[in-house]
Amino acid sequence: MSILIDKKTQVLVHGITGKEGSFHTRKMIEYGTSVVAGMTPGKGGEKFEGIPVYNTVAEAAKAHKINASVIFVPARAAADSILEAAEAGIELVVCITEHIPLHQMMRTYEILEHRGTRLIGPNCPGLISSGKSKLGIIPGEMFSKGPVGVVSRSGTLTYEIVDQLTRSGIGQTTAVGIGGDPVIGSSFIDILPLFEKDPETKVVVMVGEIGGSDEEIAAEYIASEMSKPVVSYIAGFSAPPGKRMGHAGAIVTGTSGTAEAKAKALEAKGIPVGRTPHEMVALARVALTKV
């Protein structure tokens, strides 16, 4: 199986006619994703690669049975695009857009809490279920089918970890990039239970980075709620305090949010932490021998 998406997932692309939207829509289709509709205001009635384009999400949702949407619109319009998808009853929304104003995402997150829509992102690479479907910008060629689920705060690290797993002969069920902004729709503890319930996922790899407390919260959750082995990699052991590392949420303030502190919190709960991606892959291989 997989989590969140599979071959049956029917996808709407927001901003399908734009530069990024059109490029990545083609890549998603090539991978096997069922893109059934696109949305670009003012382009309704057109077609992109044979896919009908609508002016609004509501029009697209009325014409098609849409399970998920992926957002490639500018930051100034992205929060409204998320809410438009939620208003149309779309169950899963993946927002690739970065630099969305923080106050807009805080408002959006609060509204989504009262709806039945799951948000992945923003500022994320998306997700992919190996050999089935992908939403977002994740390159599919490095993935292979197998028993490991991956959840990560970093897009680039997702690619690196998956590539090393595949090269080591360890395939993946689903990989989810949750995003590195201070306010995101889904955290580690929102994704981990999905892997716990998935019968084909035998081991979970959690990729974290400096800043925030998501990894520490996840450590408590894993220890109390998960039966499947989880191994981790934390990026940023050499990051200096006060310097942002790539993501808006990846910043060490004082002694809080350091890679070392996160590793200690995880290891205290019995969750092994690799200091390099290669070491993490070795830990995953050991975990697989025990399930």
Give CA–CA dist 91/120, Å, rounded: 11
The set of catalytic residues is: 247
Structural domains in the chain?
10-120 (3.40.50.720), 139-289 (3.40.50.261)
Contact (Cβ atoms closer than 8 angstroms) between residue 27 and residue 140 = yes
The pLDDT, as a whole number, for residue 63 is: 98
pLDDT at 20: 97
Question: In the chain, what percentage of residues exceed pLDDT 90?
Answer: 85
- Identify how many contiguous H helices and E strands the chain contains and give both numbers: 9, 14
DSSP assignment of 21-71 equals HHHHHHHHHHHT-EEEEEE-TT-TT-EETTEEEESSHHHHHHHS---EEEE
Q: What is the pLDDT at residue 76?
A: 95
Q: Please give the pLDDT value at position 243.
A: 56
| pLDDT in the model for residue 238 | 62
pTM reported for the whole predicted model: 0.94
Paired tokens of 10: 């029917």
**pLDDT (tens digit, 9 = 90+) per residue, 153-166?**
989 999 999 999 99
Write the pLDDT tens digit of every residue in 172-199: 999 999 998 889 999 999 999 999 999 9
How far is Cα 233 from Cα 208, in angstroms, rounded to an integer? 6
Radius of gyration of the chain (CA): 19
When pLDDT is averaged across residues 275-284 and rounded to a whole number, the result is 94
Angle CA 91–179–250, to nearest 5: 155
238-248: pLDDT as tens digits: 656 655 555 44
CA-CA-CA-CA torsion sign (152, 211, 108, 53):
negative
CA distance 109 to 169: 38
Looking at residue 253, the DSSP 8-state letter turns out to be: B
What tokens were used for 152?
Answer: 């990560």
Q: Can you tell me the distance from the alpha carbon of 267 to that of 3, in angstroms, rounded to the nearest whole number?
A: 26
| Percentage of the chain lying above the pLDDT 70 cut | 93
Query: Residue 250 pLDDT more than 50?
Result: no
Q: Express each pLDDT in 264-277 by its tens digit.
A: 999 999 999 999 99
The tokens 């996808």 sit on which residue?
11
| Torsion sign, CA atoms 36, 37, 38, 39 | negative
Task: Please return the burial class of 59, using the count of CB atoms within 10 Å of its CB with bins 0-12, 13-18 and 19+.
Answer: middle
Residue with tokens 């590793």: 263
- What is the per-residue burial (b if ≥16 Cβ within 10 Å, else e) of 94-111? bbbbbebeeebbeebeee
The beta-strand segments (E) located in the chain are: 10-14, 34-39, 47-48, 51-54, 68-71, 92-95, 118-120, 126-129, 133-136, 145-152, 172-177, 203-209, 230-235, 273-274
Distance in angstroms (rounded) separating the CA atoms of residues 12 and 71: 9
